[in-house]
A = this chain, B = another copy of it.
Amino acid sequence: MPDDTWKPPRILLTVDLVILTLRGGRLHLLLVRRGVEPFAGRAALPGGFLADERENILSAARRELREEAGLTDIPHLEQLGTYGDPDRDPRGRVVSVAHLAIVPRLPEPIAGTDAAAAEWTPVDDVLAARVPLAFDHLRIVVDGVERARSKLEHTGLATAFCPEVFTLTELQQVYEAVWGTPLDPRNFYRKVQGTKGFVVPAGPPRATGTGRPARVYRAGPCRNLYPPMIRTVPTVAAGGDER
């Protein structure tokens, strides 16, 4: 029970970003190499402190996306969760609001990046702990990837990985990469077509080099898929809900 002189503690707030994309059929994550202590030299999520007393949290996430990754048009950005273990940062009480961002396949690593050492890393390498991360960032990545996997089931999130106009085969590759399961193209085709509002036709078929030219689509209006896409791999028995 606080006495009359008690003042609430003041803490430092950061935003961290789990930025996912598809490269060569595999799910990748953007990591930066830390230049300063703590964890200097270690890979970490892009992110940083609130710029000033009045900066919005979502705006801060967008700013870091721009400054640290050179990304300005983000198809999907959502809050992931807040991580505030008192010992997560040796500098003091730093609470981080983690965000999940999805971007389509980009031309090359990163454009004019502030943190010069930003690079796309296969998510598998991070999850298998072959690439050690700073702070509690591994935990954040695990949660972010699981969020993406889950949202692919009942939202149109998969389209955020695709360019504005895409083929159903490209969309299927998103599911296969994020879920790590192969899907039957014929059933996938039928399923997506049958899910009203998931995708809408966009122009005439496009030749992809070899094989029959595919019809192209763009993201449909529906945010929530009904019926949902089905991930046969039974939702990885994840354990606790508490953080």
Contact = CB atoms under 8 A, between A and B. Distances in A.
A226 to B, nearest CB: 5
Interface string A1-39: 010000011111110000000000000000000000000
Interface in A204-243: 223-224, 226, 228, 234-235, 237-239, 241-243
Nearest to A14: B8
Contacts of A85: 56
B8 A10 contact: no
Contacts of A164: none
A145 interface: no
A53 B226 contact: no
A42 to B, nearest CB: 20
Q: Which 7 A-B pairs have the closest CB atoms?
A: A8-B49, A10-B10, A224-B235, A57-B84, A54-B86, A9-B53, A82-B82
